[in-house]
Amino acid sequence: MKAKILFLHGFYASGQCVPAMALRNAFEGNAEVLTPDLPIHPKEAVGYIRGLIDKEKPDMLVGNSCGSFYAQMIAPTLELPALLGNPHFRMTEFLETRIGAHQYKSPRKNGKQDFIIDSQLIAEFAEMEAHQFDNCNPDYKERIWGIFGEQDTLAHFEPLFLQYYSHSFHFPGGHTPTAEEVQQYYVPLIKKMLTTNLCNQ
């Protein structure tokens, strides 16, 4: 039976973003990679992700940026391993300087490319941020890994990550990995995590 990976994209992205497509291409024929479009509101996004996990039963989560923020909160509660790419644990700081109208940087399946960042959205993220590590526990710290771009100019949360988890890796790129970086740096870690997880089941 093929392994199943659920990829959670970043805030400005979609399930058609470069890392998502690169993962699908890298695992074609060997594993199923789910790359859904996530709702913009955090509570709605987490509910949607949990529902998708219940339905699809993935073997692991892979996130980028805001998607990693979600993955870190969800993975321990459902006993899933997760690879957090450039996790953004302070989404409120990111959003506060970007209030106004925006467009997603990759196509959404529903065709809606416009969205608004406002004070309500920031407040929703603030509420979730305050409790984001509540589900972290010492028995699970080996199953959440982080990978951090050395040229990332948006998120600098490796020290915070290491307060809770042990496995930290680097790649030489920026906040959003290129297709080549996904292939070279993400895929080997995912394969290792999948092998360990499937052996433990």
What's the pLDDT at 197? 67
**pLDDT of the residue at 13:** 97
Contacts of 97 (CB under 8 A, 6+ apart): none
Q: What is the DSSP string of 99-167?
A: -EEEE-SS--TTS--EEEE-HHHHHHHHHHHTTTTTT--GGGGGGEEEEEETT-SS---HHHHHHH-SE
Which residues make beta-bridge pairs with 144? 82
Quick one: pLDDT at residue 51?
98
Residue spans of the chain under pLDDT 70: 197-201
Side chain identity at 185, as an amino acid letter? Answer: Y
Burial label for 7, CB within 10 Å (0-12, 13-18, 19+), is: buried
Structure pTM?
0.96
pLDDT of residue 24: 97
